[in-house]
Amino acid sequence: MSALTVINARIIDPASNFDGLGTLRVEDGMIAALTPGAAPAGAGGEVIDARGLVLAPGLIDMRVFTGEPGREYRETLQSAGEAAAAGGVTSFVAMPDTLPVIDDGALVDFVLRRARATCKVNVLPAAAITKGLAGEEITEFGLLKESGAVCLSDGRRSIQSSGLLRSAFTYAANFDLPVVHHVVDASLAGDGVMNEGLFATVLGLKGIPAEAETIPLARDLQLAALTGVRYHAAQISAARSVDIMAAEKRRNDRVTCGVSINNLSLNENDVGSYRTFFKLSPPLRSEDDRRALVDGLKAGVIDVIHSDHDPQDTEVKRQPFAEASDGAVGLETLLAAALRLVHSDDADLLTVLRAMTLRPAEILGLPSGRLAAGAPADFVLLDLDYPWQVKEAELRSRSRNTSFEGARLAGKVMATFVGGRKVYGLGGEPA
């Protein structure tokens, strides 16, 4: 692979807190050097003049659902890779909610081989905690890790049995595998379809109380402390959840949590007149909850921002709100939507990028997510002020159920590199 030098870039590296003009040198798919200031003389190979664009580590998305295997009509690994590359995501964790479920080493191996053959970005398989995602019998964690699983998760499902979860945590701790768990009490959530409150009452829809999240979260954190597992609350949505996580983090440095970009940038009012593309799990909550999540991100309580990319076909989304499926696609809009926080001065750029690069890499034990010599050359060139509008017809995902349809955003990926190779370029990007 030929050498590559990117000059005149505003380099932002959350791992070193570097933010300044510099040059990035790539050799054999790895970062060879990051040099502040002007380019060193005599750099061989291809040279890209970034002309002041931001150069940042490629995003690592910790929660992506695909349809492959079994539901390729919703999303394939290839189409997810195309969407990811366009959104600046160079690695994503593929949830095990497929057909069949990724609960066997051979299926982990299949996903890895299929991804290498068809996908432009790095695919990191998550293996199921329980067989068939049924919440009844744990899988063979050791074999799944040997096959290449980076973490354990039951995806959209939440394990209701505390006894089973304790056993799973104990077993996972033996293999030092992180457990990524979706926290919801099924009996409290019941038939609810949106955030419980006045707005749900006005719409005549059944609500989901915050306690459906906070109660299982508190339980999980106690079991994590008991077993010593590396625990990651997949996504929190309520202000009280931020308080619970903050308190536990003062006692246990092996617990982390994530938030969906949907819950970080939207609220229950966006449901509007029964708009099913805003039917999500966890539901969009109040503006006070959203503000608490932003404060939690700035305080370091929330570690990760992810897309919660969940493709759904037209048949299950074009339904009455109460009957429609949960989920929205988000790989292509993750970064631009997160930049809303930067443009509104709610959070600084380093904080936002850290939650989508360095922290996911640290949680999963990856060498990427940073711009350091010896790290994989996974990076993006970004125009922070590039104006664009989300148009459903232009999305690369096979499904078009976006929560940001018609949204006007500022910030666009100009080019995406994986292993030093360009996998995406917007027309007019530096060459």
308 flagged as catalytic: yes
**How far is Cα 31 from Cα 4, in angstroms, rounded to an integer?**
9
Q: In sequence order, what DSSP letters do the residues of 44-59 get, joined into one string?
A: -SEEEE-TT-EEEEPE
Closest CA to 34 of 46, 21, 44, 25: 25
Cα–Cα distance for residue pair 348/354, rounded to 1 Å: 10
R_g of the chain computed on alpha carbons: 21
| Residue among 61, 154, 303, 308 flagged as catalytic | 308
**What is the spatial distance between Cα 323 and Cα 244, in angstroms, rounded to a whole number?**
32
Structure tokens at 198: 């006045």
Task: State the DSSP H helix or E strand holding residue 393, giving kind and residue range, or none if neither.
Answer: none
Q: What gap in Å lies between CA 25 and CA 47, rounded to an integer?
A: 9
**What SS3 state is found at 255?**
strand
Whole-angstrom CA distances from 45 to 1, 34, 294 are 10, 16, 43
CB 70 within 8 A of CB 376: no
Of 105, 99, 187, nearest to 139 by C-alpha is 105
d(CA 69, CA 99): 6
DSSP per-residue letters across 239-253: HHHHHHHHHHHTT-T
Q: By C-alpha distance, which of 99, 153, 108, 161 is closest to 128?
A: 153
Query: Which pair of structure tokens corresponds to residue 296?
Result: 């939690």
Residues with a known catalytic role = 308
